[in-house]
Amino acid sequence: MPLEAIALFLGHEDPVVTRVYARADTEMKRRVIAEAQAKGVGVEYLEVDKSAIWIGNEDMIKKLCGL
């Protein structure tokens, strides 16, 4: 997905701001996951919308990811 589209969706005036979020390195990801786990937040706590069009649809997931 184009960075500009993500920036618009997030309400960022400038796509440069969005790059901060879009370019997380491995250490940043590890730190965020560790912080979430320390707070008791994890994917097992997320509710999944079973009616979402991408659930069980690999082609749709690829399309949404721009693949």
Quickly list DSSP for 28-44. HHHHHHHHHHHTT--GG
pTM of the model: 0.34
What average pLDDT is seen over the chain?
Answer: 77
Would you give the end-to-end CA distance of the chain in angstroms? 9
Q: What is the pLDDT of residue 36?
A: 79
Q: What is the pLDDT of residue 26?
A: 82
- 54 burial (CB, 10 Å; 0-12 / 13-18 / 19+) is middle
Q: What is the pLDDT of residue 45?
A: 52
35, 6, 63, 57 alpha-carbon torsion, rounded to 10°: 40
Q: What is the pLDDT of residue 48?
A: 55
